[in-house]
Chain A
Amino acid sequence: MSVEVKLTGVTKRIGSITAVDQLSLSIKPSDLLFILGPSGCGKTTTLRMLAGLSDPSEGRIHFDGRDVTDLTPRKRNVGMVFQNYALWPHMTVEDNVEFGLRMRKLPRKERRERVAGVLSQVGLGEYGKRKPGQLSGGQQQRVALARALVVHPDVLLLDEPLSNLDANLRVQMRELIRDLCKTNNLTALYVTHDQEEAMSIADQVAILRDGQLEQIGPPDEVYAKPRSEFVARFLGETNILKGDVASIADGRVELKTSAGVIASTNHSGSPTVGEQVSYSIRPESAHLRAALPEECSLSGRIVETKRRGHWLRRRIEFGGGASIIVQEALGSERNDGDKVNVAIHPHDVSILGVGANGTGHT
């Protein structure tokens, strides 16, 4: 069974600090929502309030319309994967996984079947009799996941579950988590500060900053259409530039910038002519070639080149002193000092934080 989760005006104050500030969002049934944000932005606090481990100072939490705000954790039927797994070291793998079923007073036979089933689902069928201390980090992670899944939770909560694993294992595990969520048809909330994890497997991402919701949406949309400088920068490398609105027609905004004239068809607010705005262009959206008819064209000079994995990052300086970073495939024969043409599609130019001097608050 999957439920809809709804937070309405949830606030958490700890002493004089407001950790979560008037947070309202909802997770559709069977969706995997990622809460992303830097350390201290309130994402773990939000998760703990959903689990019932921490009480909101204000606001309500609903699971499928049922108000769970004042319920203890045991009455919410959630499953949770803790950052450091929180496996009980004195119990075997089986006992750890079985714990929630015992608390729910399920018959012994059913408990055994479900434990065996979920352990084989996470690929640990052989490890039931071991203690957590005898397992590797990745295996412990799977046990934690099995323990959370076996109770058939209404909501699965994951608190930076992969942060203690090495890079290769992280990739494997995140795929497994996605598969398990989808197979079991679970509504899940996943907290992380790793944007790559979010971009890879999330259905929705919510970006939190200082306890407030900055933006929420499908990962591709949030990446491509960041509404603030904070979101744009948090989700990956980007160029933030400033310009004045010269004209607006049919959703196309012409910007006069020190680099030249740039057009944008990607904005969420309603800019006005003459207003100064900030805009974001991702390095991979700017191309070193002649512009196609619908693209804007800027002329500049390569001033610096750095190798970044399989790509080159080139800094292009324009006449007015502005510069942007452009991504180019390895093997290009251009050199620093060369004059180049930069082509950018108006779709890839995101106007940020309209009306707030471009600092990115929405």
Chain B
Amino acid sequence: MKRRDAGQYALLAFLFCVLGAFLVYPIWLTVRGGVASDPVTGRGFTLRYLELVFRDPVMREGLVNALMIAIATTALCILISLPLGLVSARFDYRFKRFWDVAVLVPLILPPFVGAVGLKAMIGRYGALNSMLGTEWDILGTARFWGVVVTLALHLYPIVYLNVVAALANLDPSLVEAAKVGGATGWQRFRRITLPLIRPGVFAGSSIVLIWSFTELGTPLVFDYYRTTPVQIFNGVKEMDASAQPYALTIVMLGVAILMYATGRWVLGSSKASSSTRAFRAAETPKLGGVGTALANLMFGFVAFIAVIPHIGVILMSLSTPNTWYRTMAPSSWTLENFQLALERPIVFGSIINSLSLSLIAALVDVVLGVAIAWIIVRGRVKGRAILDGLAMLPLAVPGLVMAFGFIAMSLRWPFGKGDPLEGVIDVVGVSPNPMPLLVIAYAMRRLPYIVRAAVAGLEQVGVELEEAASVFGATTAQKFRRVVVPLLTGNLLAGALLVFSFSMLEVSDSLMLAQQEQHYPITKAIYALTERLGDGVAIASAMGVWGMALLTITLTSVSVLLGKKFGAIFRA
């Protein structure tokens, strides 16, 4: 082994240790807990609990419902994104740049907060029914579709960004060749464009599929309890005594990995098509009057539907508590909720918690992300592919599973009762301390985004720029500080902003790991407030608006920093 390879192996070993301890180990504990015959000690082996999951009709129903939510949400996302992406990539029209950004708006609101707004707008006593003078309980009778529509309206930008990126990468001469060969517009789309952008569509879709399959907040707010994530959430309290929540989590993990693997397999089998690269940009013909109107109408319609929850949340945040009931709009307005949202100890504390947790998570991810990306792109050591796979693992592992594993970790050596690190991390004890776990959970969950951002950056930075630094006398550390990191600044900043903002609005870990008020991050505080009678919902909405403002700023910055590469971050 050469000396310089020794450094790489040491870095690789360190990264394996970190990922092993905080990613693989919690997942392993979950898996182990579900097949241990003695749930208290975690010893023995049995498949009884797993079998029970499939025997119990309630659990079975929960699984089927979660799957149906995932499939319906993904299908709806593709249906929304494909036409939008095609129009945006192929044509030029007035207000195009505005719509390109506007369609990303849904990303700025956690769907479960959106659900509050949606209820206010189209719920039984909401604005729509007041306007029509009816009491049509759309969401009550169709909770399933409420969940699906809310999720799809939140997640379609992920598929949209991937479709646009795939179309930008498509060599226009391939389509032109079909045109010269006599293919009609539809034939070109079906036989050339669609097969070639399929990897991009699948890449985005598999993220949406797993995301919606494991979504916890939205079903909770819609009172749709017969779904696996909610069942796991409700099982947390009994997890130190029962194996059932573990077993349920294993099943969810299995299905999620199956989904992810299927996505990768489909992507892998269409490798040839994904290898096309545009040598020049496709021409984008300017649409005439009718075309422009249609394009604007299409984007406007989707954007309007997508922002209904946001409008609901904003209106709710501006209403005097309990005055928006059976009316089209709140009957009394106030700005007090925004102030109250910042004054309440539960709220203020949660904002401080979220800010510091997310900031630390983003910093941790920048360091890990650069190191992992560098080994993947530049490394010569064996085990790079495994590292790449591990870094992407969080995409396939539901947040709930990780959260569950972290709780299990806090109960085991060295953090368990009487162990050397007792109390360093504690979730379900009498005086819990979940903060270190929340940082780790946030950092691990969003690691893939920053790794992908750094990999994309490194692939564009020629290796000879690093070699030149070595030749002219730089040590490895100097090379990183003076050449690699400055050249990756844009990508790292974008990745860090994404980690930060998604951590600020992270749901499953926050809901599961923070059990006491002083540890609540923003999302858990919002959830707790929505459950509270009186002014709870109004204040929760005001917090939601603060959150939206924050995410608007960060996502706009990311979009500016990354340009068309933005879509590459949301890829499985």
Contacts and interface: CB of A to CB of B under 8 A. Distances in A.
| Interface residues of B, dominant DSSP | helix
B2 A99 contact: no
A95 to B, nearest CB: 9
Interface stretch (A2-10, A74-82, A192-200, A247-255): A74-82
Given A74-B473, A147-B472, A103 B467 contact: no
Contact of B472 (A55, A72, A151): A151
A70 B1 CA distance: 12
Main secondary structure of the interface of A (DSSP, over half): loop
B483 A55 contact: no
B487 interface: yes
Interface in A53-109: 53, 55, 70, 72-74, 78-80, 82-84, 86-90, 99-100, 103-104
Given A55-B2, A82-B467, A88-B465, A103 B473 contact: yes
B2 A86 contact: no
B334 interface: no
Nearest to B2: A55
A55 B2 CA distance: 9
A86 B464 CA distance: 6
A189 interface: no
B478 interface: yes
A103 B471 contact: no
A86 to B, nearest CB: 4
Contact of B478 (A72, A73, A86, A103): A103
Interface in B467-482: 467-475, 478, 482
A80 B482 contact: no
Nearest to A53: B467
B462 A80 contact: no
B467 A74 contact: no
B486 interface: yes
Contact of A103 (B464, B474, B487): B474
A99 B469 contact: yes
Nearest to B487: A90
A86 B472 contact: no
Nearest to B489: A90
A86 B465 contact: yes
For A51, A52, A53, A86, the residue with the greatest tally of chain B CB atoms inside 10 Å of its CB is: A86
A73 B474 CA distance: 9
Interface in A91-143: 99-100, 103-104
Contact of A88 (B2, B4, B468, B471): B468
Given A53-B467, A55-B2, A99-B482, A88 B472 contact: no
A52 B468 CA distance: 11
A39 B175 CA distance: 34
Nearest to A82: B464
A48 B474 CA distance: 17
Contacts of B483: 88
Given A55-B2, A88-B465, A73 B486 contact: no
B92 to A, nearest CB: 28
A74 B468 contact: no
Given A86-B462, A88-B487, A100 B472 contact: yes
B98 to A, nearest CB: 30
A154 B410 CA distance: 59
A167 B61 CA distance: 74
Contacts of A52: 470-471
A103 B468 contact: no
A79 B468 CA distance: 9
Contact of B473 (A70, A84, A89, A104): A104
A103 B474 CA distance: 6
Contacts of A151: 472-473
Contacts of B474: 74, 99, 103
Contact of A90 (B467, B478, B486): B486
B447 to A, nearest CB: 26
B472 A89 contact: no
Nearest to A48: B467
Given A88-B465, A88-B468, A151-B472, A72 B4 contact: yes
A53 B465 contact: no
Contact of B470 (A73, A84, A90): A73
Nearest to A77: B473
Given A86-B462, A88-B483, A90-B487, A80 B471 contact: yes
A53 B470 contact: yes
B155 to A, nearest CB: 36
Contact of B468 (A72, A86, A104): A86
A325 B468 CA distance: 46
B487 A53 contact: no
Contacts of B3: 70, 72
B487 A89 contact: yes
B472 to A, nearest CB: 4
Nearest to B474: A103
A70 B467 CA distance: 17
A100 B467 contact: no
Contacts of A87: 468
Nearest to B467: A53
30 contacts: A51-B471, A52-B470, A52-B471, A53-B470, A53-B471, A70-B3, A72-B3, A72-B4, A72-B470, A73-B467, A73-B473, A74-B470, A74-B471, A74-B474, A80-B468, A80-B471, A80-B472, A86-B462, A86-B465, A86-B468, A87-B468, A88-B487, A99-B482, A100-B472, A103-B472, A103-B478, A147-B468, A147-B472, A151-B472, A151-B473
**9 cross-chain pairs, A with B, having the tightest CB-CB distances, nearest first:** A103-B473, A100-B472, A86-B464, A86-B468, A74-B473, A73-B470, A80-B471, A73-B471, A90-B486
Given A79-B472, A88-B468, 19 more contacts: A51-B471, A53-B470, A70-B3, A73-B470, A74-B475, A80-B471, A82-B468, A86-B467, A86-B468, A88-B487, A89-B487, A90-B487, A99-B469, A99-B472, A99-B474, A99-B482, A100-B473, A103-B472, A147-B472
Interface of A: 51-53, 55, 70, 72-74, 78-80, 82-84, 86-90, 99-100, 103-104, 147, 151
